[in-house]
Amino acid sequence: MVGGTSVFLLLLAAVTYLWFSVELPEEPPSLQSAVVLAEDGRELAVLSQEGQRFIVPLEEVNPVVVDALLSSEDRRFYDHGGIDPFGITRALFNNLTSSGTQGGSTITQQLVKNEYLTNDRSLGRKVREAMLSVKLERSEDKDQILERYLNTVYFGRGAHGIEAAARAYFDTTAADLNVEQAALLIGLLSSPETADPVEDMGEATNRRLRVLDDMVDNDVLTQAEADVAASHPIAVNDRTAPPAPTSGLAPHFVEWVRQQTVAAVGEEALYSRGLKVITTLDIEAQQAAEAAVAEMLTDPAGPQAALVALDEDGAIRAHVGSRGYEELKVDLVRGVEGGGSGRQPGSAFKPFVL
């Protein structure tokens, strides 16, 4: 009896010491990608150093995403205090009675691990994770924690957060994701690289089905609704990573805008503050300009070309720096500033000076 009491007191002392010695770190800065927009607000490019990141408030995320997440990852999220003994027990039972594996970590624990800790599997790390999770729950409300998680968790394809994932996989927004899309994305969380539909359609289908089943079991979806969602074929963008800033429309122009923005606000601001850089480029004019250059100069060994179109106020409406960015990254429109040696205008300059 005395021995048992001593052990209990020692454990209590250890827990008390850990509680006061483990401090909750400051919240990491919310890094967001910059977006370059055409004059009508359409997106030209996303500028980011390490994948795409967009911060969206929880109210701008379709509720089906939250339903899918909580059903699959943490059903008692709004009831526990950061750690969930019931969830751990349920996960252990499911792992023993089924062929799959299920984690017992709460969403709060996952957020703590992703933002404050490493992937070390040691007991010490798990204890710190539990302590920090309880402290985080005492300093922020549930919706704040859920919003932070959805904006930072990794979905593969360089996409950090639900908004970036919606763009990377479906060319849509977090607000417009439907049930089957939400189920697919949440199914990716445990191992995004191995379940990308482009890489393994079978695994992606199984993951989506498991999430839909979880939603039915959690009474946020009827069986009929789940069956309809499961019957829809998976259709995602056929790419394994977000496009590079210079791989789409007007690549030379986008690179020039990037350089100008860095000069104006610095790299830290460009790559972390979610800037929206609105330009004067006209997308239809740009498409016509690129098509004109491509149609007139078809020989890869032939001459290069550049084209720039300005309106009456001098605003750039179209900018083609070369026949193809991958073929020649030098921006011939900008001459020396674009990385080239410049060109002598010759007699072509006479109309401007005579």
Phi, psi at 287, each rounded to 5°: -60, -40
Active-site positions read 73, 347
Q: Is-contact 215 192, C-beta < 8 A?
A: no
Q: Is the dihedral of CA 219, 223, 225, 231 positive or negative?
A: positive
Both tokens of 236, joined, read 């995602």
Q: Is-contact 217 71, C-beta < 8 A?
A: yes
What single string gives the DSSP state of each residue in 52-101?
EE----GGGS-HHHHHHHHHHH-TTTTTSSS--HHHHHHHHHHHHHSSS-
Residue 294: how many other CB atoms lie within 10 Å: 13
SS3 (DSSP) at 46: strand
Smallest CA-to-CA distance from 160 within 57, 32, 42, 261 is with: 32
Q: Is-contact 229 215, C-beta < 8 A?
A: no
What is the β-pairing status of strands 52-53 and 159-160?
parallel
Q: Is-contact 277 257, C-beta < 8 A?
A: yes
Distance CA 247, CA 329 (A): 11
What single string gives the DSSP state of each residue in 108-166?
HHHHHHHHHS-S---HHHHHHHHHHHHHHHHHS-HHHHHHHHHHH-B-STTEESHHHHH
Both tokens of 246, joined, read 């210079």
Both tokens of 239, joined, read 């790419």
Q: Is-contact 71 218, C-beta < 8 A?
A: yes
Both tokens of 280, joined, read 């004067």
